Structure 1
Amino acid sequence: MSHELHHFAMGTWVFFLAYLTSVVGSFVGLTCARRAATAHTGSNRSRWTFMAALSIGGVAIWLMHFIGMMGFAVPGSSVRYGLGLTIFSVVLAVGATWFGLWLLDADVPWMRSVSPTSRLGIGGVIMGFAVAGMHYNGMAAVRIQGSLDQGTTFVLYSILIGVVASITALWLSRNAEHWLVRIPAALVMGCAVVSLHYTGMAGIDVTVDPAAPSPAGMTVMSLLFPGFIVGVGVLAVPVLALMATPTSEELRREREVAAWVGAAADRDERQA
């Protein structure tokens, strides 16, 4: 028989924590993506792109999803998660984000004739489908005492949100130059990620079967504890790298100051 389900069983604070997590991950990821866009060597570009993918895909998308799932409850059944599909979902989220960012500057024969605008569209569509796929792969890992079905209309809407959000994220990664611009950009990205999640969740229909065996697997809290630890580490690495590495603007200003000091010293020597 069909049962009710709850999305905020632990309170609305879960929603705000999920949104905040997505915003922080998006901000760090956008900053890393901007560094990748201005990198002068291929190795630096690859390093910054990978850190951006970890921040956006691993924290802003994947960790946000499972924080939101803390509020998911089915009266009459416990909720468990399959470990294999859960791990694959984070690989999918990070991999899709990395591919979308990589595609913007990929210097490969089959992409050289593609315009930047077309690259943005292609990367955004692929990334959007993969991000939505991460959500539904994560939902496929859910185990209850019964069955869980997804509404087709909500699936389509969530995919559309994922594609629009991905194209926006890729565009912002190239245009959000100043950190003050990246704050509203991260707020918009976080809103898009959370919207995808709860749009998909709104289409869930649950049927509890009292005769079915109790579900086996991990609880959401047993997933989130190591997830939070890894997430903090994932964000700490790029944050420290960003603090330790000067930006192109900072290097330009240092060169201008050095040139000014040198010119002033030469002038003083000639006057002496």
Structure 2
Amino acid sequence: MAEINHFEYGWITPALSYALSVLGSILGLVCASRIRTAPSAGQRAWWGVLAAWALGGTAIWTMHFMAMLGFAVTGSRIRYDVPVTVASALIAVVAVGIGLAIVGTGRLSVVRVLVGGLFTGAGVAAMHYTGMAAMRMDGRLGYDQVRVALSVLIAVVAATVALWLAMTVRRGLAIFASALVMGVAVNGMHFTGMSALSVHLHERQGDVTGAEVGTLLIPIVLLVIFGVVGLIYALLAAPTDDDLAAAAYLGTRQVRPAAAEPAAVDVPDPVGLRARSTLARPGAQFPSRRDHPPR
């Protein structure tokens, strides 16, 4: 059995993996909080996609790959199968997206959260072990079944809590605290699953095919940067809840026109009574006797 080192570069890789999981969790929780307040089905779907990308792509899969950078096996090189690695990323995003769709539509209930958490947790575990199956080395991989079951249980519990927080947390401080907890859960699941791994080297060393870590690192880092910038831009460009409330108020408010003054009615005056009446001319004085011409 080969010697395994999970922290070849010291604390750098676990610290970066935890930071990525917290960053992705913050963005995912903020995007998920917009799902239930979105005014249309299209906007709810849009925020669901962004939340799935942030949670599944950044908080879970990118964290997994960053932690794998510190994984080393004594006596063997490690390469990665690119199609299987890409498939593991898609599994994470799709699993989180389906979980958000389960809890984000209809009335929020305990049953919905449990079903969504079970499905999402199973998807996260599948992502993790698919990513590990993408490793190519001069050896055979083995797993401790008890620790594998424990990692799956942690994934299901973490996914359930994450979905519940995604649908209930709204304020900034609560989102940040929730992201810290989710980062611990995601990293705990990853390293629990990694501790279940054992490697048995082949007697004859052969050529290891696949992409090196450095080859995959550059596109993944660029993907994370553009993805995070895109998520932040989408959040900043979207109207806030106050903006939506103000727009709804202005849309339903009815502006009443000012009351118009009644138009004057021109009453016929055939005998000239209006000209003789002093009531029709405010401020007019009664004529005196000397104003009348002598008869």
Q: Same fold (TM over 0.5)?
A: yes
- Structure scoring higher RCO (CA < 8 A, sep ≥ 6) equals 1
Contact 1:77 1:144 in 2 (8 A): yes
Distance 1:253 1:186 in 2: 30
Contact 2:103 2:167 in 1 (8 A): no
Distance 1:146 1:211 in 2: 10
Contact 1:149 1:206 in 2 (8 A): yes
- Deviation, structure 1 residue 154: 1.0
- Displacement over 6 Å in runs of 4+: 253-257
Structure 2 matches for 1:48-127, cutoff 5 A? 48-106=47-105, 116-127=109-120
Q: List alignment gaps of at least 5 residues for structure 1.
A: 108-113, 267-272
Selected match of 1:234 from 227, 238, 256 = 227
Does residue 223 in structure 1 map to residue 222 in structure 2? Answer: no
Distance 2:179 2:242 in 1: 22
SS in 2 for 1:148: strand
The equivalent of 2:38 in structure 1 is: 39
Q: Tell me which protein shows more helix as a share of its residues.
A: 1
Structure 2 matches for 1:115-154, cutoff 5 A? 116-154=109-147
Distance 2:4 2:214 in 1: 18
Distance 2:216 2:146 in 1: 29
Distance 1:216 1:186 in 2: 37
The equivalent of 1:110 in structure 2 is: none
- Deviation, structure 1 residue 251: 4.0
Selected match of 2:164 from 165, 168, 171 = 171
Distance 2:203 2:180 in 1: 43
One-letter code aligned to 2:83: G
Distance 2:24 2:158 in 1: 14
Task: Report which of the two structures shows the higher radius of gyration computed on alpha carbons.
Answer: 2
Distance 1:127 1:154 in 2: 19
User: What is the root-mean-square deviation in Å for CA atoms of aligned residues?
Assistant: 2.1
Contact 2:104 2:167 in 1 (8 A): no
The equivalent of 1:185 in structure 2 is: 178
Distance 1:219 1:171 in 2: 38
One-letter code aligned to 2:80: Y
Contact 1:35 1:247 in 2 (8 A): no
